[in-house]
Amino acid sequence: MAAWPIQQVQQWEGRDVLLNDEVKMLKQVPLFAGVSPAKLKLLAFTSERVSYRSGDVLCRQGDAGDAAFVLLSGHADVIVDGPTGQIKVADLEENAIVGEIAILCDVARTATVKAATAVEALRISKENFFKLMSDFPEMTIEVVRVLADRLSQTTVELSEARSRVAELSKR
């Protein structure tokens, strides 16, 4: 029986350590809280681990939504193009998920996500994201809850902005 080349075994062992780390991190993401560790390991294995330097763009407003990202480490800014220029609308931290709206709604990206620091992320393809939602209906419910929370927050912010505009127009 031939032995496995030591370099290949070390690569597998190294990848397994990374996968276990990724599973631990994915468990911290509220969206994946009800998903079994075995499924999370499969998700991590089929996802792409990507690294960004500060200032790098993870995804750009207007681009096709082909993947979601889970921030494993670092911070990123969510920026939208407005009539007067770019507006930072959110800060993302470790364990945040971003990009799911574009893949769920099959629309172009609604914002640009830019690394504010060095970022490690898992890039989850649209296909794998939908497969996970199909296998775990409770995850689908959590996705709806997250989107509803974002819509609620956006509604509050829009109301505040309209109030400020109304105040300024009275002057």
Residue-range domains of the chain with CATH = 48-170 (2.60.120.10)
In three-state secondary structure terms, 59 is strand
Do residues 162 and 169 make contact, with C-beta atoms less than 8 angstroms apart?
A: no
Amino acid at residue number 153 = Q
- Read off the pLDDT band of 16 (50, 70, 90): low
Structure token digits, residue 164: 């400020």
Q: Which of 130, 119, 21 is nearest to 67 (CA)?
A: 130
Question: Which strands, in side-by-side order, build the sheet including 48-52?
Answer: 48-52, 119-125, 67-73, 97-98
Q: Rg (Cα) of the chain, in Å, rounded?
A: 19
| Mean pLDDT, the chain, whole residue set | 84
Query: What's the CA gap between 102 and 66, in Å, rounded?
Result: 8
Q: Which of 107, 99, 98, 108 is nearest to 61 (CA)?
A: 108
More confident residue, 77 or 4: 77
Query: Which secondary structure element, helix H or strand E, spans residue 78, and what is its range?
Result: strand 76-82
Q: What is the pTM of this model?
A: 0.76
Amino acid at residue number 135 = D
pLDDT, tens only, 93-104: 999 989 888 888
